């Protein structure tokens, strides 16, 4: 049958993230690359979207409208309110009936998958794959639900719906809010994959996530299903393998008390069982993988990394039925940092009393008061700066983790979800200590070394002071051993939220190529124009100034380009006070960007007042960037509004525009005559407007291509004209984080590239290599010309 809501792995590639999320797209990519992936299909994000936009709740609203109303009234930092409101959403999704057109397609696809194995029904895993999940700039690992050993079409349909519901767990909602993702634009696909009946399984990082050594592969392994390793239910074996030589450099054989297996009583779902009883007492401390298997797993990881061109976080398993190695998931590692040297710290801490040892899961030093908790319901006990101690760090504890100065757990390995999140949050963590919750008591004071994997009694001043000195000396930047890469093309960073400014600055970026206004304005909790009409303009100005100041200070004197508000009507409508927002068939083509700002000058004035306030405090590194400009008159009017509040373009601030519509690219000379210091390409919009492609439309998303000749010609034209007139050129769209696009832009002569925080290091390396290649090609050409003349 022809499917609308189903895609088989064979039909998918890595570009299909908008359709099936990161997990689904990667499974399709690996399948087509010849990686041994268990077969399966994806229930696309379009199915979830169809569900929430067409199924209605009791009061007649669509489910999507009902959900967004609840979320708009939820303070994500209030743990109790967050848990209560998200629970309501999950219950509602599960209680509503799946549309028949989706249900029938799932039944048919499951039947076809089963027939591939000559059976009426096969065991499958049903996994969530959010459309913002597993992207290079975000680690959503484990944020949504996974169901193992699912059997029968009805069970599959039920688990798909529960996957949809898990998009609204407290932890997933909190994570999206803090990472700056728009809840209304994150959809969820469900992956239905033939279940591997695992004898052994685990996780592998193709770069050491603790030491950041790209030449080492770290493998975690345990008995049974991999869920035990990912969730942190067991401290797994750990093996370190050197790439190329395939030498096993280190082995840590853990005491594996429990394992997860298919429920032997019901034949469905999974249960946790004692290893000693299920396999025998000798397996508790037995090496899980043979040396040959360790090398086989490592080589497979290297093959996958080579295919993607970036270190990967991979879930693998050996099937006890056929003995073969299978790969069930792969995603890019998003938490690689430059390693901190612990040599001096180790020398200074010899006399400090060590109370616990474990695995260093997230590098750095943290110190504070211990708070021991055993359940997510206790997370409010953890205050800012406390050391969170628990049996295993559950994803529901993320709000408390964010407040903690360090994290210590009894169980878990370096590749557990909790360890990954700790590294992403930049919080020191020690896992797998076995007895942290017994040895440490609430009220104790400890110092945690997440690099060496040790916990010291009391506050070790030499370690804490060393950390503070290093931070002060670095000016908030990561200390990098050896000479940093110097590139003629500047590499900047995109910043969505002021809260991440320090970490974004630590990438060593040459400035901020895009500071978004949306999250600062939308965080006030109601429509900003309503806020101003209620006489709260000064409060809005201060809120904006606070955010801009935070970023400007973190990067000073490096430039920070602030983009004025660019929120479509559908985003504003969901806010309290947004009832008067117009209904638009396609908000992306509607009343947004500079168009809205000039029609609602009171809001643009508030933004300019906030910038003026920060500039007067001495931050002269700010630039103003106008979005969606299509006519010189828009630049002129925006300057007039700026002058009205005392902000002088070109004097107080640099003045620039986004090149997002073909019109702006075609009349770039006219825009320059109006007076601009810089331009930045917004390739997301420029591509969809040039090619007439709605990038949110799954049916045509495969046609979306930033490297299309028409898009590149517009970019090339703008860069040439700007070079002629001395106007700086940059890019801040998603394409700026794509190595392939970076190479093209360097050759076109762009002045800077602004990438997402986790892509800065990679893009800088790509830029440096391409610049060196250009120099080499020019030198070789000159040499050949000279040889020809002599001849």
Positions marked catalytic: 417, 732
CA distances from 541 to 236, 431, 479, 535, 610 (A): 51, 44, 35, 12, 5
Rounded to whole angstroms, the Cα distance separating 61 from 66 reads: 6
The sign one gets for the Cα dihedral 602, 607, 610, 616 is negative
Distance separating alpha carbons of residues 452 and 210, to the nearest angstrom: 10
- Spatial distance between the Cα atoms of 360 and 455, rounded to a whole number of angstroms: 10
Q: Distance between CA atoms of 627 and 625, rounded to whole angstroms?
A: 6
Q: Tell me the C-alpha distance between 551 and 624, whole Å.
A: 14
Contact 413, 238 (CB under 8 A): yes
CA Rg value for the chain: 27
Question: Which residue, among 424, 425, 421, has the nearest Cα to 403 in the 3D structure?
Answer: 425
Instruction: Identify whether the C-beta of residue 528 lies closer than 8 Å to the C-beta of residue 600.
Output: no
Cα(259)–Cα(271) distance, rounded to whole angstroms?
A: 8
Q: Which residue bears the tokens 């280190």?
A: 250
Whats the size of the chain, residue-wise? 791
Cross-strand partners of 193 = 40, 125
Runs of H (alpha helix) within 3-78 = 17-32, 45-54, 63-72
Q: What is the DSSP letter of 378?
A: G
Residue 130: which of 29, 230, 22 has the closest Cα? 22
- Do residues 359 and 406 make contact, with C-beta atoms less than 8 angstroms apart? no
Q: What gap in Å lies between CA 467 and CA 359, rounded to an integer? A: 20
Pick from 451, 420, 246: nearest CA to 343:
451
Residue 116 in tokens: 């591939």
How remote is the C-alpha of 129 from its chain's centroid? Answer: 13
List helix spans (H) across 288-416. 291-308, 343-348, 398-403
For helices 601-616 and 537-555, what crossing angle results, to 10°?
Answer: 50
Helix residue ranges per DSSP H, 290-336: 291-308
For residue 374, what is the DSSP state? S
Question: Please, are residues 65 and 215 in contact by the beta-carbon 8 Å criterion?
Answer: no
Q: What is the DSSP string of 220-246?
A: EEEEB-THHHHHTSS--EEEEEETTT-
């Amino acid at each position: 049958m022809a499917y609308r809501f189903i895609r088989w792995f064979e039909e998918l590639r890595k570009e299909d993230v908008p359709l099936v999320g990161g997990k689904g797209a990667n499974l399709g990519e690996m399948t087509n690359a010849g990686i041994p992936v268990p077969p399966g299909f994806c229930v696309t994000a379009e199915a979830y979207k169809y569900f929430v936009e067409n199924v209605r709740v009791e009061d007649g609203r669509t489910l999507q409208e009902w959900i967004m109303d609840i979320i708009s009234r939820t303070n994500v930092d209030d743990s109790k309110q967050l848990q209560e409101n998200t629970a309501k959403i999950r219950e509602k999704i599960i209680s509503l009936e799946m549309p028949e057109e989706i249900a029938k397609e799932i039944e048919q696809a499951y039947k076809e998958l089963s027939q591939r194995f000559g059976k009426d029904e096969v065991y499958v895993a049903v996994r969530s794959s959010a459309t913002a999940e597993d992207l290079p700039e975000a680690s959503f690992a484990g944020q949504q639900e996974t169901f193992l050993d699912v059997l029968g079409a009805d069970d599959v349909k039920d688990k798909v719906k529960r996957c949809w519901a898990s998009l609204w767990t407290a932890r997933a909602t909190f994570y999206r809010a803090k990472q700056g993702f728009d809840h209304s634009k994150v959809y969820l696909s469900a992956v239905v994959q033939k279940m591997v009946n695992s004898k052994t399984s685990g996780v592998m990082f193709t770069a050491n996530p603790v030491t950041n050594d790209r030449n080492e592969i770290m493998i975690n392994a345990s008995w049974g299903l991999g869920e035990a390793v990912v969730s942190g239910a067991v401290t797994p074996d750990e093996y370190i393998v050197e790439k190329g030589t395939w030498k096993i450099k280190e082995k840590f054989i853990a005491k594996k008390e429990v394992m997860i297996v298919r429920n032997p009583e019901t034949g469905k779902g999974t249960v946790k069982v004692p290893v000693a009883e299920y396999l025998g007492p000798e397996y508790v401390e037995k090496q899980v993988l043979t040396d040959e298997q360790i090398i086989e797993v490592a080589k497979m990881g290297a093959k996958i990394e080579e295919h993607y061109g970036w270190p990967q976080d991979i879930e693998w398993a050996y099937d006890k039925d056929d003995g073969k190695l299978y790969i069930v998931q792969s995603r890019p590692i998003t938490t690689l940092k430059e390693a901190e040297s612990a040599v001096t710290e180790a020398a200074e801490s010899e006399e400090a009393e060590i109370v616990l040892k474990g695995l260093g899961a997230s590098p750095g030093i943290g110190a504070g008061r211990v708070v021991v908790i055993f359940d997510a319901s206790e997370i409010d006990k953890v205050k800012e700066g406390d050391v969170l101690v628990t049996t295993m760090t559950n994803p529901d504890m993320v709000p408390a983790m964010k407040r903690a100065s360090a994290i210590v757990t009894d169980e878990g390995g370096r590749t557990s979800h909790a360890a990954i999140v700790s590294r992403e949050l930049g919080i020191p963590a020690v896992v797998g200590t076995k007895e942290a919750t017994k040895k440490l008591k609430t009220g104790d004071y400890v110092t945690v070394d997440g690099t060496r994997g040790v916990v010291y009694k009391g506050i070790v001043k030499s370690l804490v002071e060393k950390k503070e000195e290093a931070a002060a000396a670095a000016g908030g930047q990561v200390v990098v051993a050896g000479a940093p890469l110097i590139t003629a093309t500047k590499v900047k960073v995109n910043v969505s939220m002021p809260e991440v400014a320090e970490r974004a600055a630590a990438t060593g970026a040459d400035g901020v190529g895009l500071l978004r206004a949306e999250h600062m304005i939308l965080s006030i909790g109601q429509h900003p124009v309503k806020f101003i009409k209620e006489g709260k303009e000064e409060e809005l100005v201060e809120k904006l100034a606070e955010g801009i100041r935070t970023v400007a200070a973190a990067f000073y004197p490096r430039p920070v380009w602030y983009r004025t508000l660019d929120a479509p009507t559908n985003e504003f409508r969901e806010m309290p006070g947004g009832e008067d927002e117009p209904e638009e068939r396609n908000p992306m083509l509607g009343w947004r960007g500079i168009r809205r700002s000039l029609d609602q000058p009171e809001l643009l004035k508030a933004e300019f007042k906030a910038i003026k306030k920060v500039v007067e405090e001495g931050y002269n590194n700010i630039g103003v960037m106008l979005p969606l400009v299509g006519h010189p008159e828009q630049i002129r009017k925006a300057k007039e509004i700026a002058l009205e509040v005392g902000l002088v373009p070109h004097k107080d601030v640099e003045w620039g525009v986004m090149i997002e519509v073909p019109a702006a690219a075609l009349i770039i000379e006219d825009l320059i005559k109006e007076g601009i210091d810089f331009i930045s390409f917004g390739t997301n919009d420029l591509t969809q407007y040039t090619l007439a492609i709605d990038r949110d439309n799954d049916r045509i998303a495969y046609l979306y291509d930033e490297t299309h000749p028409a898009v590149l010609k517009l970019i090339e034209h703008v860069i040439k004209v700007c070079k002629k007139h001395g106007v700086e050129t940059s890019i801040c769209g998603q394409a700026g984080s794509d190595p392939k696009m970076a190479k093209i832009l360097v050759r076109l002569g762009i002045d800077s590239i602004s990438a997402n925080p986790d892509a800065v290091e990679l893009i800088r390396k790509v830029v440096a290599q391409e610049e060196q290649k250009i120099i080499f090609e020019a030198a070789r050409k000159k040499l050949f010309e000279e040889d020809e003349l002599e001849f």
